[in-house]
Amino acid sequence: MRLKHIKNADEIILLSPYLISNPTDYKGKWNTLFNNNNPIEIEIGTGKGKFIISKAINNPNINYIGIEKYSTPLVGATKKLESIKIDNLKLICFDAFNINDVFDKEISKIYLNFSDPWPKKRHAKRRLTSPSFLNKYDLLFKNDKIIELKTDNKDLFEYSCVTFEEYGYNITKIDTSYLDEYTTEYEDKFISNGVNINFVHVEKK
Protein backbone atom coordinates (compact mmCIF):
# COMPACT_ATOMS: atom_id res chain seq x y z
CA MET A 1 0.00 0.00 0.00
CA ARG A 2 1.53 3.26 -1.15
CA LEU A 3 1.74 6.14 1.31
CA LYS A 4 0.15 9.39 0.22
CA HIS A 5 2.59 12.20 0.87
CA ILE A 6 1.40 14.88 3.28
CA LYS A 7 2.84 18.34 2.81
CA ASN A 8 4.65 19.69 5.89
CA ALA A 9 4.31 16.33 7.68
CA ASP A 10 7.54 16.93 9.63
CA GLU A 11 6.24 20.23 10.98
CA ILE A 12 2.82 18.78 11.79
CA ILE A 13 4.08 15.89 13.91
CA LEU A 14 6.50 18.14 15.81
CA LEU A 15 3.49 19.99 17.22
CA SER A 16 2.27 16.84 18.97
CA PRO A 17 3.12 16.45 22.67
CA TYR A 18 3.52 12.71 22.03
CA LEU A 19 6.33 13.14 19.51
CA ILE A 20 9.84 12.90 20.97
CA SER A 21 12.08 14.82 18.57
CA ASN A 22 15.36 13.96 20.34
CA PRO A 23 15.04 10.23 21.10
CA THR A 24 18.77 9.56 21.28
CA ASP A 25 18.93 11.82 24.35
CA TYR A 26 16.90 9.26 26.29
CA LYS A 27 18.97 6.18 25.51
CA GLY A 28 19.11 4.06 28.66
CA LYS A 29 16.79 6.40 30.58
CA TRP A 30 13.35 6.28 28.96
CA ASN A 31 11.90 5.49 32.37
CA THR A 32 12.73 9.06 33.42
CA LEU A 33 10.61 10.42 30.57
CA PHE A 34 7.66 8.26 31.63
CA ASN A 35 8.44 9.04 35.27
CA ASN A 36 8.05 5.41 36.36
CA ASN A 37 9.75 2.01 36.13
CA ASN A 38 6.95 0.21 34.30
CA PRO A 39 7.86 -2.17 31.45
CA ILE A 40 8.52 -0.53 28.09
CA GLU A 41 7.21 -2.12 24.89
CA ILE A 42 7.97 -0.81 21.42
CA GLU A 43 6.34 -1.19 18.02
CA ILE A 44 8.68 -0.85 15.06
CA GLY A 45 6.75 0.49 12.09
CA THR A 46 3.85 1.99 14.00
CA GLY A 47 2.24 3.63 10.96
CA LYS A 48 -0.90 5.59 11.79
CA GLY A 49 -0.80 4.29 15.36
CA LYS A 50 -4.07 2.39 15.79
CA PHE A 51 -2.41 -0.67 17.36
CA ILE A 52 -0.14 1.07 19.84
CA ILE A 53 -2.67 3.73 20.85
CA SER A 54 -5.18 1.00 21.72
CA LYS A 55 -2.50 -0.90 23.62
CA ALA A 56 -1.57 2.15 25.66
CA ILE A 57 -5.17 3.05 26.51
CA ASN A 58 -5.99 -0.46 27.70
CA ASN A 59 -2.71 -1.20 29.52
CA PRO A 60 -1.90 1.85 31.67
CA ASN A 61 0.80 -0.01 33.64
CA ILE A 62 2.92 -0.57 30.53
CA ASN A 63 4.78 2.17 28.67
CA TYR A 64 4.64 2.16 24.87
CA ILE A 65 6.83 3.73 22.21
CA GLY A 66 5.80 3.75 18.57
CA ILE A 67 8.67 3.97 16.08
CA GLU A 68 8.00 5.05 12.51
CA LYS A 69 10.56 5.86 9.84
CA TYR A 70 8.32 8.23 7.87
CA SER A 71 6.60 11.37 9.09
CA THR A 72 3.55 11.06 6.78
CA PRO A 73 1.88 8.10 8.58
CA LEU A 74 2.71 9.65 11.95
CA VAL A 75 0.47 12.58 11.01
CA GLY A 76 -2.41 10.12 11.24
CA ALA A 77 -1.23 8.92 14.64
CA THR A 78 -0.90 12.44 16.06
CA LYS A 79 -4.37 13.35 14.77
CA LYS A 80 -5.84 10.34 16.58
CA LEU A 81 -4.21 11.59 19.77
CA GLU A 82 -5.34 15.22 19.56
CA SER A 83 -8.33 14.71 21.86
CA ILE A 84 -6.78 11.97 24.04
CA LYS A 85 -4.53 12.21 27.08
CA ILE A 86 -2.33 9.13 27.50
CA ASP A 87 0.60 9.26 29.90
CA ASN A 88 2.16 5.94 28.84
CA LEU A 89 2.69 6.56 25.12
CA LYS A 90 5.42 8.27 23.08
CA LEU A 91 6.10 8.39 19.35
CA ILE A 92 9.39 8.80 17.52
CA CYS A 93 10.18 9.33 13.85
CA PHE A 94 13.34 7.31 13.43
CA ASP A 95 14.93 4.67 11.22
CA ALA A 96 15.01 1.34 13.07
CA PHE A 97 18.32 0.52 11.40
CA ASN A 98 19.87 2.83 14.02
CA ILE A 99 17.71 1.62 16.90
CA ASN A 100 20.71 0.97 19.15
CA ASP A 101 21.24 4.73 19.26
CA VAL A 102 17.90 5.08 21.04
CA PHE A 103 17.56 2.19 23.52
CA ASP A 104 19.89 0.26 25.81
CA LYS A 105 18.78 -2.71 27.93
CA GLU A 106 15.37 -1.22 28.79
CA ILE A 107 12.79 -2.87 26.51
CA SER A 108 10.45 -5.71 27.54
CA LYS A 109 8.79 -6.57 24.22
CA ILE A 110 9.03 -5.71 20.53
CA TYR A 111 6.04 -5.71 18.17
CA LEU A 112 6.64 -6.11 14.44
CA ASN A 113 3.34 -5.54 12.67
CA PHE A 114 3.07 -5.87 8.89
CA SER A 115 6.68 -4.97 8.24
CA ASP A 116 7.96 -4.48 4.70
CA PRO A 117 8.68 -8.04 3.46
CA TRP A 118 11.56 -6.99 1.19
CA PRO A 119 10.83 -9.99 -1.08
CA LYS A 120 14.00 -9.90 -3.18
CA LYS A 121 16.78 -12.10 -1.85
CA ARG A 122 19.38 -9.35 -2.18
CA HIS A 123 17.31 -7.21 0.21
CA ALA A 124 17.00 -9.87 2.93
CA LYS A 125 19.20 -7.93 5.36
CA ARG A 126 16.62 -5.14 5.38
CA ARG A 127 13.92 -7.39 6.81
CA LEU A 128 13.18 -6.54 10.44
CA THR A 129 13.57 -10.21 11.35
CA SER A 130 16.91 -10.71 9.62
CA PRO A 131 19.88 -11.84 11.75
CA SER A 132 21.36 -8.34 11.49
CA PHE A 133 18.27 -6.83 13.12
CA LEU A 134 17.93 -9.63 15.68
CA ASN A 135 21.48 -8.83 16.71
CA LYS A 136 20.51 -5.19 17.22
CA TYR A 137 17.47 -6.18 19.28
CA ASP A 138 19.60 -8.24 21.67
CA LEU A 139 21.05 -5.00 23.06
CA LEU A 140 17.62 -3.45 23.64
CA PHE A 141 16.07 -5.93 26.04
CA LYS A 142 16.14 -5.45 29.79
CA ASN A 143 15.62 -9.11 30.70
CA ASP A 144 13.98 -11.86 28.66
CA LYS A 145 13.73 -11.17 24.93
CA ILE A 146 10.16 -11.22 23.59
CA ILE A 147 9.09 -10.46 20.04
CA GLU A 148 5.66 -10.69 18.42
CA LEU A 149 5.25 -10.64 14.64
CA LYS A 150 2.08 -10.22 12.57
CA THR A 151 2.12 -10.28 8.78
CA ASP A 152 -0.07 -11.09 5.80
CA ASN A 153 3.03 -12.13 3.84
CA LYS A 154 3.53 -15.91 3.94
CA ASP A 155 7.13 -15.78 2.70
CA LEU A 156 8.16 -13.22 5.33
CA PHE A 157 6.40 -15.26 7.99
CA GLU A 158 8.21 -18.47 7.07
CA TYR A 159 11.54 -16.66 6.78
CA SER A 160 11.03 -15.03 10.18
CA CYS A 161 10.11 -18.27 11.96
CA VAL A 162 13.32 -19.82 10.64
CA THR A 163 15.54 -16.89 11.60
CA PHE A 164 14.00 -16.66 15.07
CA GLU A 165 14.76 -20.31 15.77
CA GLU A 166 18.24 -20.13 14.25
CA TYR A 167 18.95 -17.13 16.48
CA GLY A 168 17.97 -19.02 19.64
CA TYR A 169 14.37 -17.92 20.10
CA ASN A 170 11.69 -20.39 21.19
CA ILE A 171 8.38 -20.20 19.36
CA THR A 172 5.75 -20.24 22.11
CA LYS A 173 2.70 -19.42 19.99
CA ILE A 174 2.07 -19.61 16.26
CA ASP A 175 -1.17 -19.02 14.32
CA THR A 176 -1.78 -18.66 10.58
CA SER A 177 -5.37 -17.45 10.98
CA TYR A 178 -4.84 -15.00 13.82
CA LEU A 179 -7.50 -12.64 15.12
CA ASP A 180 -6.09 -10.01 17.47
CA GLU A 181 -7.87 -7.82 19.99
CA TYR A 182 -5.57 -4.99 18.92
CA THR A 183 -5.35 -4.40 15.19
CA THR A 184 -3.56 -2.07 12.81
CA GLU A 185 -5.11 -0.15 9.91
CA TYR A 186 -3.50 -2.59 7.48
CA GLU A 187 -4.82 -5.53 9.47
CA ASP A 188 -8.41 -4.27 9.40
CA LYS A 189 -8.23 -3.93 5.62
CA PHE A 190 -6.70 -7.37 5.17
CA ILE A 191 -9.31 -9.05 7.38
CA SER A 192 -12.17 -7.31 5.57
CA ASN A 193 -10.79 -8.73 2.32
CA GLY A 194 -10.55 -12.25 3.73
CA VAL A 195 -6.76 -12.31 4.02
CA ASN A 196 -5.32 -14.56 6.74
CA ILE A 197 -3.05 -12.98 9.34
CA ASN A 198 0.06 -14.90 10.39
CA PHE A 199 1.24 -14.49 13.99
CA VAL A 200 4.17 -15.74 16.00
CA HIS A 201 5.28 -15.05 19.58
CA VAL A 202 8.90 -15.88 20.38
CA GLU A 203 11.01 -15.70 23.53
CA LYS A 204 14.66 -16.07 24.44
CA LYS A 205 16.29 -16.00 27.85
Catalytic residues: 116
Strand partners, 150: 113, 199
Report residue 55 CA to chain centroid gap: 12
Residue 176: CB atoms within 10 Å: 11
CA dist 203 and 144 (Å) reads 7
- Those residues whose C-beta lies under 8 Å from the C-beta of residue 135, and which sit 6 or more positions away, are none
Contact between 94 and 67 (Cβ < 8 Å): yes
Q: What is the helix (H) or strand (E) element at residue 112, kind and residue range?
A: strand 109-113
Per-residue burial over 142-173, b = 16 or more CB atoms within 10 Å of its CB, e = otherwise: eeebbbbbbbbbeebbebbbebbeebebeeee
